[in-house]
Chains A and B, each alone.
Chain A
Amino acid sequence: MKVVVAMSGGVDSSVAAALMVEEGHEVVGVTLKQWEDVDGNLPTAGCCTVGDAEDARRVSAQLDIPYYVLDYVDEFRAAVVEPFGMSYLAGRTPNPCVECNRTVRFNALLERTADLGADMLATGHYARIGQDGDGYHLRKGVDPGKDQSYVLHMLTQAQLAQIQLPVGELTKPAVREHAARLGLRTAGKPDSQEICFVGDGNYRDFLADHFPETARPGPIVDMAGAVVGTHPGTAGFTIGQRRGLGVALQEPKYVVDIDSETSTIVIGDRHDLLAAGCVVDDVSFVSGRLPAGGAVEVKVRYRSRPVPARLSPDGDQWLVVFDDPQPAVAPGQAAVFYRGDEVLGGGTIERSIQ
């Protein structure tokens, strides 16, 4: 089988490529050039740098596989970066990794995989794909601390049929050990934490640089409507945020609402953050069918635990009602539905329900 491996220059995709080679496949390594500095070159700091591409290139040479850099700058800007800015501008909290997976990685790159005569696309995501009589199933990665199934919830049966996620069966330490055993230069490379195109910088600085229209100062008000401070622009604030509010108060306060129309940030106590549920838009189900029964577990943030909830259709949208009220349900983030390890599907949070 011929497999294209998307290599970021990190240890996970390096090992994904190595595992595909070990399984005896004909492997081609690619790095997506997604973002460039104003000079047209890859950034030199942060993630997705020249150094990262160079690491991917060197690992490919070590694995004796061909390696190419593919230019997705235009697609990435249109499908990920612009909506990222627009979403913040609308007072929402976008998840650019979800949009990248939806539009660039598992759409444009998957098409390219076929153009290159390959059968499969492999990535270094921590999630697992299984197959039985019902079709393909997407499950959490073996390492609970690293599971990335959340950002893959939009995958369809047709896509899953062409995707390999080889490191999903491993824990992070096992991935690093495997890389070390092969002597891959990326074995000890630190994990990237940032949004790739924001790099090392603060994402508010990024927004100010690239979306200057987000710099619209306004008031910070408490639950009673009293002005307690000001802010430089609602973009960069997210529901549930506690730090960096720029107001000195007696007890911890959280962002509970963002009104982009009036450029107002509302802060409140922890209990003010609680939502009974949320309305979810653009929902897709991995199986392609509606799940039987409404009982699911829902993850409303990449780093939150799935919580029990009931799912029901509501016109074009879906209604999620948590068994217990949940804090910090931010419009723009993905709501992903699970049953145990299995990803049922998900969508984008349109609004929370009090």
Chain B
Amino acid sequence: MLYLDHAATTPMRPEAWAAMERVRGTYGNPSGVHEISRAAKNELENAREGAAGLLGAGRPSEIVFTAGGSEADNLAVIGTALAGGRPAHVVISAVEHKAVLESARFVERMGGRVSIVPVDSSGAVDPAQVGAAVEDDTALVSIMLANNETGALQPVEEIVAAVDAANPATLVHTDAVQAFISESVDVGIFGVDLLSLAAHKFGGPKGVGLLYVRDGVRLEPVVHGGSQEMGRRAGTQNPMGAAGMVAAMEATIADRPSFHRRVAAARDAFEQQLAAAIPDLRVNGPADRLVQHSHLGFPGQSSETLLIRFDQAGLAAAAGSACQSGAVEVSHVLAAMGMSERHAAESVRFSFGWTSQPEDADLAAKIVIEEQRS
């Protein structure tokens, strides 16, 4: 099976396996007082320091480990919107991941307000429009670093500047879940107050994520209970997962320049071969997009049928976002870009990853060209 669905999840890196193997005997609950617990706590805090350093965070205490990217997004949006005692105003873009979008809807149901900033037809957010949406009581602006479907990169630094100009008290969160594997991420350079990561998107284990929370930011927990994670996330901590995640972060950062070269060459060769063979093939998304994403529209073809044909031919790809039943549904991202329902239903996402080989492009293009002729 040729795997071009790395944006959904990607294989674990050997460095992550090794780190988790290293802590296999460290079974203690980090919250205890005895030696067994201390050993586990030590692993966890090593991971926290590692993550803080790799993200350019000032202090390890700014890293909150979570059970994944969606939880990190929930904590960022709900946690800041509800921290002030009464639900506040939140600004998001129309192409945010459902974890942000639905958290914002939840804030709305709790009595808060939500403003949704539109995107242009390429899926890009205009920082000026974000700034214009910020009001006196805006607690948070949440704009993703890169879109999980099209790979569209958002100008996070400019957005931070626009928000600061509009209301210096407003916090900025960015969901960097999809971008981290290929884009350099530094909270200091971005100037964001909160940032989400999910380990499994860049070669770490599933079920582990983190939220960077700038020192001084007040957060209402989403998971209530014990005082773990500085009181911001209850639940017994996961030293093994944290160790695996941080090892994957290190490996990802070390691999990025090479990843860029390898994947760009493969993705571009793939798209060139398809464009040459398929008249009117559409490339969705802006020029400034993640190097690993190829979101394509096949005129007159149903993506639902294409995905099954690709699967049967040994190529794994994706479309829209899978719903509860597994049927393919037209995504809110493509709709927000003003794409017609028909064009959206003709679109397939191919995503390359750290295990992709240069020759994958040729084989994938061959399968796609063959299978889209029906």
Contact = CB atoms under 8 A, between A and B. Distances in A.
A40 interface: yes
Interface in A91-125: 112, 115-117
Interface in B315-341: 323-329
A50 B325 contact: yes
A42 interface: yes
Contact of A71 (B309, B311, B312, B329): B329
A69 B326 CA distance: 6
B308 interface: yes
B325 A41 contact: yes
A42 B324 contact: yes
Contact of A53 (B311, B326, B329, B374): B326
B308 A116 contact: yes
A40 B329 contact: yes
A33 B309 contact: no
Contacts of B327: 33, 69-71
Interface in A35-73: 40-42, 50, 53, 57, 66, 68-71
Contacts of B311: 66, 68
A40 B312 contact: no
B305 A40 contact: no
Contact of B305 (A31, A41, A112): A112
A191 to B, nearest CB: 21
A112 B302 CA distance: 10
Contacts of A42: 324-325
A74 to B, nearest CB: 10
The listed residue with most A CB atoms (<10 A of its CB), out of B309, B325, B329, is: B325
Q: Which of B323, B327, B329 has the most CB of A within 10 A?
A: B327
Contact of B374 (A28, A68, A115): A115
Contacts of A28: 308, 312
B135 interface: no
B180 to A, nearest CB: 30
Interface residues of B, number: 15
B360 interface: no
A68 B309 CA distance: 11
B362 interface: no
Nearest to B313: A117
A47 to B, nearest CB: 14
A116 B305 contact: yes
Interface string A243-266: 000000000000000000000000
A31 B325 contact: yes
B109 to A, nearest CB: 14
A46 to B, nearest CB: 14
B5 interface: no
A71 B374 contact: no
Nearest to A37: B324
B49 interface: no
A290 to B, nearest CB: 37
Given A71-B304, A71-B329, A117 B309 contact: yes
Nearest to A49: B325
User: Among A41, A57, A68, A112, which residue has the most Cβ atoms of chain B within 10 A?
Assistant: A68
A83 to B, nearest CB: 23
A28 B327 CA distance: 15
Interface in A176-193: none
Contacts of B308: 28, 66, 68, 116
B125 to A, nearest CB: 25
Contacts of B325: 31, 33, 41-42, 50, 53, 69
Nearest to B345: A71
Given A116-B312, A117-B309, A71 B324 contact: no
B84 to A, nearest CB: 30
A115 B326 contact: no
A242 B214 CA distance: 71
Interface in B328-359: 328-329
B38 to A, nearest CB: 43
Nearest to A112: B305
Contact of A57 (B323, B326, B328, B329): B326
Contacts of A68: 308, 311, 326
Nearest to A4: B308
A42 B322 CA distance: 13
Nearest to A68: B308
Given A71-B329, A115-B374, A41 B312 contact: no
A116 B329 contact: no
Contacts of A116: 305, 308-309, 312
A2 B162 CA distance: 58
B258 to A, nearest CB: 35
Given A40-B323, A42-B325, 5 more contacts: A31-B325, A33-B325, A41-B325, A42-B324, A116-B308
11 contacts: A28-B312, A40-B323, A42-B324, A50-B324, A53-B325, A66-B311, A115-B302, A115-B309, A115-B374, A116-B309, A116-B312
Interface of B: 302, 304-305, 308-309, 311-312, 323-329, 374
- Top 4 nearest A-B pairs (CB, nearest first) are A69-B326, A69-B327, A71-B327, A33-B327
